[in-house]
């Protein structure tokens, strides 16, 4: 098996599973309990928060543990909108966000918020000037993803942060789920107020993640109750998940540069070989893309059909994001880039991790070319 769907989810580190099991079986006390068993669990939470804060170069008090990217994005977007709605009801995002950003914006639009969806270029990049032109006196939030989960474009997060620094009443949220550990980003340097990270995209476990909330930023909680997580997210904490997330973060960040370089070389080699086929058109831009994502269109073959045919050869890829693929709708990212419905419907995403190796490139390319030839005979 060759697994090339790492933007959907990654294989957990062995150490992550071991840490989860250790905590779940030995330190299963409730962190809110007053007895020693509860204090032990609370101490593990505190150490994990400190570790994540150090890795991101922020205060531990700015780290909120969540169940992953979807909750983090919803918490940031809806929490900001509800908290600051009396200040203004205009919010800004892009036309190519992940559904966990796009859908909350649609919900807020139904509640009376005015939403601006920024367009992207034919290569998938946002123009910071478009953002600046969109800001009004009513604007309270801008939400822009760092790395696009489908085509890998790296948005100008730092440049946008400099623009938004001139607007202190506008909060800046960044979905960093696909960027963390692959493309460096300074939360402080980019003037980011809110940032989402997911555990299972960095070889952690599903159901784990964080939301960075800059000190001084207030949110209306999505979940009310016992005031856990610095009164931002109520509910008994997932201590084993928290500890395993911190472990995944540490292992990922310690080797980020080396692993990114490896993935970039693999991506480049895959791209050069795949481009040789007349039916393959690259959608991931040549410059300004993350090292782990390669998106291309196979002319004349539906992406869903291609994925299943390639699976029979032992190679696992995807079409759009995993959250959208079962809806059988073409990629809104590619449509937003000006691709035709057919081109978007015929797209394939390869996404790498450092667990992949160079010896997987040739069999992958051979399998892709073989599937194209086989499907040509069937589909014409």
pLDDT recorded at residue 3: 98
- d(CA 32, CA 257) in angstroms, rounded, equals 38
Residue numbers annotated as active site: 323
* Contact indicator for 216, 73 with CB cutoff of 8 Å: no
Q: What is the pLDDT of residue 233?
A: 82
The pLDDT score that the predictor gives to residue 326 is 55
- Separation of alpha carbons 291 and 263, rounded Å: 6
Task: Give the tens place of pLDDT for each residue, 106-157.
Answer: 999 999 999 999 999 999 999 999 999 999 999 999 999 999 999 999 999 9
**Pairing relationship of beta strands 194-198 and 114-118 according to DSSP bridges:** unpaired
pLDDT 10s digits, 273-282: 999 999 999 9
Q: 89 pLDDT exceeds 60? A: yes
Percentage of residues in the chain with pLDDT exceeding 90?
87
pLDDT band for position 222 (50/70/90)?
A: confident
CATH 1.10.3720.10 holds for 2-9+256-379: no
* CA gap 274, 268 in Å, rounded: 10
Higher pLDDT, 237 or 8: 8
Give pLDDT, residue 121: 96
The span from the CA of 288 to the CA of 286, in Å, is: 7
What is the model's pLDDT at position 328?
62
Can you tell me whether residue 7 is helix, strand or coil?
Answer: coil
- Per-residue pLDDT of 306-352, as tens digits, reads 999 999 999 999 997 445 445 567 889 999 999 999 999 999 999 99
Q: Decide if pLDDT at 236 tops 50.
A: yes
Q: Higher-confidence residue: 43 or 227?
A: 43
* Every domain of the chain and the residues it spans: 2-9+256-379, 14-254
Residue 65 C-beta-side C-alpha neighbours within 13 Å: 29
- Is CATH 3.40.1160.10 what the domain over 14-254 is classified as, yes or no? no
The pLDDT of residue 371 is above 80: yes
- pLDDT tens per residue, range 154-197: 999 999 999 999 999 999 999 999 999 999 999 999 999 999 99
Is the pLDDT at 29 greater than 90? The verdict is: no
Q: Is 50 exposed, middle or buried (0-12, 13-18, 19+ CB in 10 A)?
A: middle
| Residue 355 backbone phi and psi in degrees, to 5 | -75, -20
When mean pLDDT is compared across 27-31, 79-83, 337-341, the lowest value belongs to 27-31
Confidence class for position 377, pLDDT limits 50, 70, 90: confident
Mean confidence (pLDDT) of the chain: 94
Span 256-283, average pLDDT: 97
Q: What is the pLDDT of residue 20?
A: 98
Question: Is the model's pLDDT at 201 over the cut of 60?
Answer: yes
Between 41-50, 55-64, 234-243, the lowest mean confidence (pLDDT) is in 234-243
**What is 229-275 written as a DSSP string?**
HHHTS-S---HHHHHHHHHHHHHHHHTHHHHHHHHHHHHHHHHHHHT
User: Contact, 259 vs 355, CB < 8 A?
Assistant: no
Question: What 3 state SS string does 173-233 have?
Answer: EEECCCCCCCCCCCCCCCCCCEEEEEHHHCCCCCCCEEEEECCCCCCCCCCCCCCHHHHCC
Query: What per-residue confidence (pLDDT) applies to 280?
Result: 96
How confident is the model at residue 322, as a pLDDT?
47
Q: What is the DSSP string of 297-333?
A: EETTS-HHHHHHHHHTTTEE-BSS-HHHHTTT---HH
pLDDT of residue 309: 96
Could you say which DSSP state residue 359 is in? G
């Amino acid at each position: 098996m060759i697994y090339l769907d790492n933007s959907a989810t990654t294989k957990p580190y062995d150490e992550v599973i071991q840490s989860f099991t250790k905590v779940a079986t030995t330190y299963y006390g409730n962190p809110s309990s007053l007895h020693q068993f509860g204090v032990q669990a609370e101490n593990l939470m505190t150490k994990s928060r400190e570790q994540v804060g150090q890795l991101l170069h922020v205060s531990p008090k700015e780290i909120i543990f969540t169940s992953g990217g979807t909750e983090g994005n919803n918490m940031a977007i809806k929490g900001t909108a509800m908290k600051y709605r009396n200040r203004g009801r205009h919010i800004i995002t892009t036309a190519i966000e992940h559904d966990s950003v796009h859908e909350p914006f649609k919900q807020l639009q139904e509640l009376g918020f005015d939403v601006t969806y920024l367009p992207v270029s034919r290569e998938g990049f946002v123009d910071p000037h478009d953002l600046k032109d969109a800001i009004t006196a009513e604007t309270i939030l801008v939400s822009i993803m760092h790395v696009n989960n489908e085509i890998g474009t790296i948005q100008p997060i730092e440049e946008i942060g400099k623009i938004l620094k001139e607007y202190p009443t506008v909060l800046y949220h960044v979905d960093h789920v696909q960027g963390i550990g692959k493309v460096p980003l300074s939360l402080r340097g980019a003037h980011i107020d809110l940032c989402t990270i997911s555990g299972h995209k960095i070889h952690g476990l599903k159901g784990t993640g964080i939301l960075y909330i800059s000190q001084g930023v207030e949110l209306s909680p999505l979940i009310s109750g016992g005031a856990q997580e610095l009164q931002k997210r109520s509910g008994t904490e997932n201590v084993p998940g928290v500890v395993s997330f911190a472990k995944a973060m540490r292992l990922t960040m310690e080797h980020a540069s080396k692993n990114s370089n490896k993935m970039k070389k693999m991506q480049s080699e895959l791209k050069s070989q795949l481009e040789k086929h007349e039916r393959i058109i690259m959608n991931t831009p040549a410059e300004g893309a993350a090292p782990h994502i390669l998106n291309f269109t196979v002319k004349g073959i539906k992406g869903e059909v291609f994925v299943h045919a390639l699976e029979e050869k032992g190679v696992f890829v995807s079409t759009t994001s995993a959250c959208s693929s079962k809806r059988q709708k073409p990629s809104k990212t590619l449509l937003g880039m000006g691709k035709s419905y057919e081109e978007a419907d015929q797209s394939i995403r390869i996404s790498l991790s450092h667990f992949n190796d160079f010896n997987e490139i040739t069999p992958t390319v051979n399998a892709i070319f073989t599937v194209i030839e086989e499907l040509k005979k069937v589909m014409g």
